Amino acid sequence: MSRAPTLSQDPGSPLRLLPVGEEPGGDVSVTGLGEQELRELYRLMALTRRADLESTALQRQGELAVYPPLIGQEAAQVGSAFALGSDDWIFPSYRELGAAVVRGVDLGEYLHFYRATWHGGTYDANEHRFGYVSVPVGSQILHAVGYALGSKLDRKPVVSLVYFGDGATSEGDFHEGCNFAAVFKAPVVFFCQNNQWAISVPVSEQTVAPIWRKAEAYGFPGVQVDGNDVLAVYVATKEAADRARADGVPTLIEAVTYRMGPHSTADDASRYRPAGEAERWKGLDPLDRYRAWLSSAGLADEAFLQQIDEEAGAFAAKLRADVIGSGPRPVEEMFEWVFAGDLPPHLARQREEALGFASDRSEEDGGADG
Amino acid sequence: MAAPMAEITMVKALNQALRDSLADDPRSLVLGEDVGRLGGVFRVTDGLQAEFGTERVFDTPLAEAAIAGVSLGLALAGWHPVAEMQFDGFSYPALDQVISHIAKYRYRSRGRQSAPLVIRIPFAGGIGAAEHHSESPETYYAHTAGLKVVAPSGAVDAYHLLRASIADPDPVIFLEPKSRYWAKEEGTLDGNGALPIGRARVVREGADCTVVTYGAMVAKSLAAADVASEQGTEVEVLDLRSLVPMDLEALASSVRKTGRAVVVHEAPMTLGVGAEVVARIVEDCFDYLEAPVLRVTGYDTPYPPATIERHYLPGIERILAAIDRVVGY
C-alpha cells in the first residue's frame, strides 16, 4: 500500500529513466510516448527555461516587482503537467511557470501577478484548467482536494494535481489535505517538488522522514522520482493520475530536484547555500540531460535543436514585450469583484472617494511631482 | 398556500432552511464535523443525511482548515457547500483559508471564479459552556473584505437569511446565536417573506433612543426596552441582521429620528462592531445627535468562566444604564 505497484524502489534511489553520469538509464518505452511527444517535452522545457530566465531579467530591470525563478525544476514541472489529461485541473503554488507553459497560459497574463498589476494574473483559470498563483505555503493543497472531491461527486473522470514544495510538507494544510483526500478517495495527485531548500532552510532541517514515505501514514501510495528526469516524472505522474481517475486513490509524488536560483529575486542564496552545491547540481541540469538523451536516441539533431532555440528566443521576446507593454489596471478595478453585482453602500461610497482622488492625482502626475 | 403559524425554534428553522435548500438546489452540500449521522452537536442538521444521502450531507475529518479549504475547492468545481464549524472557538484554524482564499477568490480571478459557500458558526455565550464555546468572532470576519457576515436573532429571520446565504453568489459567514437556538417564536417557514442579506429591521419602535444590536442581544435589548417603557422612555430597537453589508440607511434613519443611540453586543468592546456603528452614526447623523453614542458590550477580557459570564454579557441593567445616560444627557 505504501508504494505504487510498478514504481517500487529503495529509499535513496528514486525512479529514474534517463542516464546520469556513469549510471545507465532505464527502459524508456514504459513512457508509452512517441517520437513527437518526446520532442515536445524538450520543446516545452526549453521554452520554460528561456521564459524563466527572461522573467528574472525583467525583475532585475525593474519590470517585475519580484519573481521566483524555477531554473532547475523544468523537468519536474513539464513532465508532470504533460502527463495530465486536458480536463484535469492544476493547482499551482507560485513557482510553476513551467506548468503554465504546458497549459498554454499566456505568460504576459500570468506575469501580471509578479508585475504587481493583478493578483491572479489576468488569464482565465477555467479555460486552461490552471488555477491562480497561491502564495500562502501549502494552502492550495486543500483546494485541489475539494476540486477533486467535487468532480468525483459529479462522476466526472477529472483529476486534480497540486504543486507544492518540501517546505509545504510541514504545513498543517498538507497533512489535512492528504488525510481528507484519502478518507474521501478524492482523485488528487500531490506533487511535491523537493528542491532542497525552503528559502534558507534545507530539507534536512524541515522534516526527518523522507517525503514520499509520508504517504504511508495516510494510506495511499508514495513515490520518489528523479525530479530532473522528465521521463521519470512523466511516468510517475501518469500512473498516479490514472490510478486517481480509475480508483480514487491519491498519490504523493516526491520529485527530487534542485532550485538552482534563489528563492526569489529578493533572496540571496549565497548567505546559506554551501559552496559548490549549486555547481554539483548543475551537472544534473534537466535540460542538458534530456537533450543528451534525445540526441543519443537519434530524436534531436542540430537542426531541431536550433529550431527550438529560435522558437524559445521568440517566445521570450514576446513575453518581454507583453510585460513591458502592460500598465497598471484602472483604479476602478480596485472595487470590481469584491462582491458579485452592485457594490454595497459602504463600498460604493469608498469607490466614489477613490475615483475622485484618482482623477486629481492623474493631474498631479502630469505636473512637477510626476 | 402559506403554512399555518406554529411555535418554532431557531434550530428547527435552520434545519428546515438546509432541508429546503438541499431540495431546491441540487448543487448544495452540507459538510462538517458530526453533521451527518449525529445531526450536529446542536441538531441543526438532524435528519438531513438520512433524507439526502451521504454524498450531499457528510461528516468530515476533524480538520477545520480542511473543511474551509475543501469547501472552496468544491465551490470551484461548481458546488454550493454549506460548512459547519462546530463552535466559534474552533473556527480559528480555518481563518487562513477564509481570509487568504475564500474572501479573495472572486477578486483575484477578476470575477472568473468565486466562492459561493456558507460557513455556519454557532457563536456567542450565555449557555454555561466551557472555554472556547462562547466566543464572538464576528469582527475577524467583518474586517475581511469579500465576506458577507450575517447574524440572525430569531427563528424566522434565521430561516430566510440562511436560505439567502446559500443562494448568495459570494461567501457568507453565518453566525448563529446559540443561546437563542431553543427560544420559541411564532411564525411560518415558507417561501413567503424572503429576506435579502443587508437589511436591518426595526423590531420595536420608539422615539427616545435607538438601541442598535444583533444576535442574542436583540432579545436582551427588547427586554430592556420594555423596562424603559415602564419608566417612560420609548426605545427603538434596530436588529442589524447583517453586519456586512450593514444597512446604513436603516441605521441613519432610526438615529436621525431618535437623536440618541446605544450599541449592544456580546463581543469585546475595542474595535468591535459597535465601534463601526458609532462611527457610521457620527458620519451620517452628527447634526441629529442629542447625546454621545454609547456601547454596552462584552469586556476586553478573554471570555470568562461560565459561572461569572452573566457579569460579562450585557444585561438588562447595563443596557438600561446606558439608555438612561444618553436620554438624560
Confidence (pLDDT) at A4: 38
Within-domain flag for B322 = yes
Q: Kindly state whether residues A220 and A344 are assigned to the same domain.
A: no
Asked if residue B21 and residue B136 are part of one domain, the reply reads: yes
Residues of chain A with pLDDT > 90, as a percent, come to 92
Q: Which of B74, B75, B107 sits opposite A337 (nearest CB)?
A: B107
Q: What is the pTM of this model?
A: 0.96
Give the pLDDT confidence score for residue B253 in this predicted structure: 98
Record: contact B78-A341, CB cut-off 8 A: no
Of B43, B23, B37, B60, the closest CA to residue B163 belongs to B23
B87 occurs within a structural domain: yes
Which of B73, B169, B246 is nearest residue A147 as measured by Cβ atoms? Answer: B73
Q: In the predicted model, is pLDDT for residue B192 greater than 80?
A: no
Q: How many CB atoms lie within 10 A of CB B50?
A: 12
Same domain membership, residue A355 and residue A272 = no
* Confidence (pLDDT) at B194: 87
The predicted model gives A97-119 an average pLDDT of 97
Q: What CATH number is associated with residue B307?
A: 3.40.50.920
Chain mean pLDDT for chain B: 97
Query: For A20-24, A146-150, B168-172, which range has the lowest pLDDT when averaged over its residues?
Result: A20-24
Does B106 lie at the interface with A, CB-CB under 8 angstroms? yes
Report yes or no on A8 lying in a domain.
no
Q: Which of B158, B187, B216 is the last residue of a domain?
A: B187
DSSP class of B270: T
Look up A243 and say whether it is catalytic. Answer: no
Q: Is the pLDDT of residue A364 over 70?
A: no
* Cis peptide bond N-terminal to B314, omega within 30: no
Inform me whether the C-beta atom of residue B132 falls under 8 Å from chain A C-beta atoms.
Answer: no
Instruction: Note whether A245 and A344 are same-domain residues.
Output: no
Residue B239 DSSP symbol: E
Q: Is residue A219 part of a domain?
A: yes
Contact check, Cβ <8 Å, A139/B110: no
Residue A10 has pLDDT above 50, yes or no: no
pLDDT at A363: 58
Q: What is the CATH number of the domain that holds B76?
A: 3.40.50.970
Between CA A78 and CA A329 the distance in angstroms is 31
Nearest CA to A184 among A212, A223, A144, A213? A144
Whether residue B172 is found in the same domain as residue B221: no
Per-residue confidence (pLDDT) for residue B3, from 0 to 100? 62
User: Are B194 and B165 within 8 A, CB to CB?
Assistant: no
pLDDT of A11 reads 47
Give the pLDDT confidence of A269-291 residue by residue, as tens digits: 999 999 999 999 999 999 999 99
Domain's final residue, options B187, B217, B238: B187
Q: Are residues B295 and B151 in the same domain?
A: no
The pLDDT, as a whole number, for residue A13 is 77
Burial of A11 (0-12, 13-18, 19+ CB in 10 A): exposed
Residue A10 lies in a domain: no
Q: How many domains does chain B have?
A: 2
Mean pLDDT across chain A: 94
Q: What is the mean pLDDT of residues A337-354?
A: 96
Q: Are residues A43 and A175 in the same domain?
A: yes
Q: Does residue B105 belong to any structural domain of this protein?
A: yes
CA-wise closest residue to A94 among A48, A141, A135: A135
Same domain, B142 and B291: no
Give DSSP secondary structure letters for B7-35: EE-HHHHHHHHHHHHHHH-TTEEEEETT-
Q: Which residues contact A263 (CB under 8 A, 6 or more apart)?
A: A68, A197, A199, A200, A269
**What is the domain count for chain A?**
2
| Residues A139 and B100 sit within 8 Å (Cβ to Cβ) | yes
Percentage of chain A exceeding pLDDT 70: 94
- B199 and A CB contact within 8 Å: no
Shared-domain flag, residues B291 and B155: no
Mean pLDDT for A6-10 is 41
- Mind listing the pLDDT tens digit for each residue in A310-343? 999 999 999 999 999 999 999 999 999 999 999 9
Q: Are residues B156 and B232 in the same domain?
A: no
Q: Of residues A272, A280, A349, A361, which has the active-site annotation?
A: A272
pLDDT band at A362 (very low <50, low <70, confident <90, very high): low
Per-residue pLDDT tens digits for B267-317: 999 999 999 999 999 999 999 999 999 999 999 999 999 999 999 999 999
**Partner B contacted by A177 (CB < 8 A):** yes
A5 domain-assigned: no
Residues B149 and B31 in one domain: yes
In a shared domain, residues A261 and A344: no
Sorting pLDDT into bands at 50, 70 and 90, what band is A6?
Answer: very low
Question: Is the pLDDT score of A352 beyond 90?
Answer: yes
Domain for residue A4, yes or no? no
Contact B108 A183 (CB under 8 A): no
For A161-196, the pLDDT digits (tens) are 999 999 999 999 999 999 999 999 999 999 999 999
Query: Of A335, A168, A16, A328, whose CA–CA distance to B146 is shortest?
Result: A335
What is the ipTM metric for this complex?
A: 0.96
Read off the CATH number of the domain in which A86 is found. Answer: 3.40.50.970
Using a CB-CB cut-off of 8 Å, the residues of chain A touching B29 are 153
Question: Is B54 a residue whose pLDDT tops 90?
Answer: yes
> B89: distance to nearest CA of chain A, Å?
18
In a domain, B193, yes or no: no
Contact A150 B109 (CB under 8 A): no
Q: Which residue of A180, A218, A335, A346 to mutate against B (max B Cβ within 10 Å)?
A: A180
Q: Are residues A311 and A353 in the same domain?
A: no
Query: Do residues A289 and A342 share a domain?
Result: no
Does any domain span residue A7?
Answer: no
- Is residue A114 included in any domain, yes or no? yes
Rounded mean pLDDT, A233-249: 98
Q: Say yes or no: B20 and B152 in one domain.
A: yes
What is the distance of C-alpha A209 from the center of its chain? Answer: 24
> Same domain for A261 and A314?
yes
Q: Are residue A62 and residue A203 in the same domain, yes or no? A: yes
- Based on the domain organization, do B170 and B250 belong to the same domain? no
* Helix residue ranges per DSSP H, A111-162: 125-128, 140-153
Both A237 and A358 in one domain: the answer is: no
Expressed as residue numbers, the domain containing B295 is 201-327
Q: Quote the pLDDT of residue A370.
A: 35
Could you tell me which residues are beta bridge partners of residue A165? A193
Shared-domain flag, residues B170 and B206 = no
Of B187, B211, B238, the position where a domain reaches its end is: B187
Tell me which chain B residues have a C-beta less than 8 angstroms from the C-beta of A145.
66, 69-70, 73
Mean pLDDT for B216-223 is 98
Report whether pLDDT(B114) > 60: yes
Dump pLDDT digits (tens) for B228-261.
999 999 999 999 999 999 999 999 999 999 999 9
How many angstroms separate the CA atoms of B296 and B141, rounded?
A: 21
Residue with cell 464555546: B133
Q: What is the DSSP string of A259-278?
A: --S-SSTT--GGGTSPTTHH
Domain assignment present for A19: no
> Which pairs from A298-305 meet CB under 8 Å and 24+ separation?
A299/A35, A299/A38, A299/A39, A300/A39, A300/A42, A304/A39
Amino acid at site A358 = A
Q: Do B73 and A136 touch (CB under 8 A)?
A: no
Residue A209 sits in the same domain as residue A77? yes
Residues A241 and A353 in one domain: no
Specify the long-range contacts of residues A203-209, CB closer than 8 Å, at least 24 apart. A203/A166, A206/A166, A206/A167, A206/A169, A206/A170, A207/A166, A207/A169, A207/A170
Integer Cα distance of B115 and B76 in angstroms: 7
Residue A356: give the domain boundaries: 331-365
Kindly state whether residues B228 and B320 are assigned to the same domain.
yes
Determine whether A263 is an active site residue: yes
Q: Do B168 and B24 belong to one domain?
A: yes
Task: Select the more confidently predicted residue: A5 or A324.
Answer: A324
